[in-house]
Structure 1
């Protein structure tokens, strides 16, 4: 096999990788960028004149591409556009006043804006173009000195408002929210999924070691790494599905079942949760042992020196609804995080919206043990 020459490898490096987005997302982003840019430019032209609005339309168009096409990137977050536009405006006004409206002053304004955006965590490439435009804005006849600053900030707010509304209405969550770790036991221990493998602190150290700017939020990077680990685990475990390891002989209750009967079922069958089915055998809720113990320790309230008689609660009054479920076709690897990090001991398994089984932490451990033994065969 012939090894590619260094020149050939260097030329291949210019070729882009295949995109992971779909044509539907391209159309969504294109429509949003067009609408956002049109509205922001029109609004600025109404208040500050068409000539000044067009003067800043270049960087505004570039910002529109970022906010609508790559809204999950670190460069496209709200603080990135607002902070960068503000930094570039201040630097452009000061440099333009000290060095006049020259090409050298514009180049200096771009560099200083970049140096200011980095420590303020608001790096946004169109901010450099904003600094350039601000330096030359006072050269437009009839434009007051304070008009460019108001135009830039108004354009940023208008474009950001459009991005917030359009992206969320079209199914793209914006801005990107930080993922919160569920602490089911309210202790200082990390979640079971972070006690082994890659942790968030490992990502921080890797990014610090890289030392270069990466246009992806830390939360998205952590999500990508964990998803990659999950897909790798699915490949190594083969085709083990929830339907293969779940319990099929189920112990269920009805909403009208008493607490005493529910506790008896849990103790007799050594269970930690009971699925609740209605008359049509549809899953309507689930009751855990902790749900049933609490009402037994509550004392009746007094009123005028007498005990107030209250109807005894049934399981339907205590059940959790809606229920977190899975399906028979779900891969076992996709259940590890649900049953380890979120405080759940079991998951109802559905097939055609009918309850057909329950998968517990014990079932999951047995599946993992079988996979480990298979690797030693």
Structure 2
């Protein structure tokens, strides 16, 4: 009973690996060291030591959890700036004390929220400014210089170190899905299941701060749905459902010949192979026909290859989105439904062995549904 109660205080194990812990620790150490050395050089050791405390907490956020909303560039710079101004204002009206310092932290927190720069170490900045002693208070508003120097130097180290170690920072907002058809319909993969509106409503109902960006939360949910679907569908791979008798063209194939091949085989796309049988492009029906809006008859005839023999290498799309024969069908669905692709070439050791079309995926999903219902 006691052990069960005590274990409830323990957080779950971290999802990161020891290699990431070491990477973050090294970055945090270097960031604090460089920031402190620069501040000491410009403002002296006493000021540096009195303001270095918040850097430790900021470094953990910027290097260990760089994707979190509390670790973004504006969060650290805005919070340091806001907390310093609040603390200096409090000193102007009240004498430095634990009570006034505590009030400065509370006011700083309230201001950080609408300014969208919530950053916990900002509270430590307010305390350091108010309780740092005469050396900090005598600087007055000039104290903003060492405070912001620390913030900007640590931020610069995080920007450089995180990206050099292949950790994207800052966290960019996920762009909306490309509207291929220029309509108001949501993307096909977002028309069922959890929608963005559902997520917004859930966050509003919680009414509390969630230490993860909305974009990351949506990605986590989408990934969870995909993994659940992968588990329920078994091991259906591209190699099992692909078409193997692939009709191909070469870069020197004319548009007229390509159109004839598409019509004869009832296809929408043609993989384009070079002399060494390497995939160099793909030509779709829309590539061949084009969209010559406002063009005259001569332009249309030229597009069709009737005015002169244009070659596929002039209109084919390259590079080509390809998959491996072991790619699970769940990975194929968003490529074929959300990116406007009609088929996906399947490669093994760089060689084209087949193509997966939308029809192939629909047939596989239909068979899987029948097996589950049976």
Shorter-chain TM-score bucket reads: over 0.9
Aligned to 1:328: 325
Query: Of 344, 358, 374, which residue of structure 1 is paired with 2:341?
Result: 344
Aligned equivalents of 2:107, 2:8: Cα separation in 1: 31
1:29-87 per-position Cα deviation (integer Å, ceiling 9, x unaligned): 11111111111111211221121111111101110110001001111111111111111
Aligned with 1:97 (options 83, 92, 100)? 92
Q: What is the count of residue pairs matched by the alignment?
A: 364
Q: What is the distance in 1 between the residues matched to 2:355 and 2:296?
A: 31
Contact 1:96 1:136 in 2 (8 A): no
Distance in 2 (CA, whole Å) between partners of 1:116 and 1:144 is 23
The two structures have a TM-score, normalised by structure 1, of 0.92
CA contact (8 A) 2:238 2:324 kept: yes
Counterpart of 1:319 in structure 2 is 316
Contact conserved, 1:241 with 1:329, CA < 8 A, in 2?
A: yes
Contact 1:72-1:176 at 8 Å conserved across structures: yes
Say whether 1:277 aligns with 2:277.
no
Name the CA shift for 1:203/1:295 in 2 (closer, same or farther; >3 Å): closer
Cα RMSD (Å) of the superposition?
Answer: 1.8
Please say if 1:234 is aligned against 2:230: yes
Is 1:249 aligned with 2:263?
Answer: no
* Structure 1 gap segments, 5+ residues each: 302-309
- Kindly indicate whether the alpha-carbon contact (under 8 Å) linking 2:129 and 2:136 is maintained by their aligned counterparts in 1: no
Distance 1:50 1:311, change over 3 A: farther
Aligned partners of 2:224 and 2:118: how far apart in 1? 28
Partner Cα separation in structure 2 for residue 159 and residue 294 of structure 1? 51
The answer to whether the 8 A contact 2:54-2:122 is kept is: yes
- In the TM superposition, residue 140 of structure 1 has moved relative to its aligned partner by 2.0
Q: Is the 8 A contact 2:31 2:157 kept in 1?
A: yes
- Matched with 1:129 is 124
Deviates more, 1:205-214 or 1:131-140: 131-140
Deviations 1:170-205 (A, max 9, x none): 111111111121211122111011111111221111
Which deviates more, 269-278 or 43-52? 43-52
Cα distance in 1, alignment partners of residues 80 and 248 from structure 2: 60
Offset at 1:147? 3.3
Relative to structure 1, the CA distance from residue 210 to residue 166 in structure 2 (aligned partners, 3 Å threshold; closer, same or farther) is same
Separation (CA, whole Å) in 2 of partners of 1:128 and 1:190:
42
Output aligned runs, 1:1-377, within 5 Å: 5=1, 7-137=2-132, 139-140=134-135, 143-180=138-175, 181-294=177-290, 312-377=309-374
**How high is the TM-score relative to the length of structure 2?**
0.93
8 Å CA contact 1:76–1:124 kept in 2: the answer is yes
Q: Secondary structure at the match of 1:248?
A: coil
- Measure how far apart 1:294 and its partner are: 2.1
Comparing 249-258 and 312-321, the one that deviates more: 312-321
Q: Write the deviation string for residues 242-283 of structure 1: whole angstroms up to 9, x where unpaired.
A: 100111100000000000011111111111111110111011
Counterparts of 1:267 and 1:159, CA distance in 2: 62
CA shift in 2, pair 1:141/1:315, >3 Å: closer
Counterparts in 2 of 1:265 and 1:146: CA distance versus 1, 3 Å: same
Shift of 1:90: 1.1
Q: Pick which of 263-272 and 287-296 moved more.
A: 287-296
d(CA) in 1 for partners of 2:49 and 2:334?
51
1:339 & 1:356 partners in 2: Cα distance?
19
